[in-house]
Amino acid sequence: MPDKRALQSNNGGKVAQASIHVLNGPNLNLLGEREPEIYGTATLADVERACRQLCEAVGVQLEFSQTNNEAELVDQIQAARASAGIVINPAGCSYSVPVLDALKACSAPIVEVHISNIHARSEAWRAETLTTAAAIGVISGLGVEGYGLALQFLLKGGAGRNA
């Protein structure tokens, strides 16, 4: 059970309800349809449902979003920068300098998630993500279950600010 005090943000003397953001990059709206042999058959709606159940069980607000637009992902990161935590699957934006710079501006702890094992993929370039540099940790290759593991880590208080 998380210490809710560790997840609350102070807003001018008012304690706001803790919120964790789960941000998803390009093409994840096609999860369950696109390359199921790599990404599985679960949909992004399935992922959101599981994430909401975890957060609701401990009274933490969840902001869940997906975009196919790099600039919009940067805006979402900036909006989440002082939250209780960010779980991000940047997908194709994993190689984006603007996304990395937005993540580096966050005080929120960040856990990066990749559904497939990016280090075992046949395309070697997939393992060279830029965004990983801004994360406390990376979960790669555990399927959509990686989202739940990342949330559990953050709900337990995570590790302060990113290393």
What are the catalytic residues? 39, 114
DSSP 8-state class, residue 76:
H
Helix (H, G, I), strand (E, B) or coil at 9: strand
Pairwise CA distance, residues 161 & 140, whole Å: 21
CA 44-136-124 angle, to 5 degrees, is 70
DSSP 8-state class, residue 8:
-
Pairwise CA distance, residues 146 & 155, whole Å: 14
Q: Are the beta carbons of 60 and 19 closer than 8 angstroms?
A: yes
Pairwise CA distance, residues 70 & 76, whole Å: 10
The residue behind tokens 């919009």 is: 72
Pairwise CA distance, residues 160 & 1, whole Å: 17
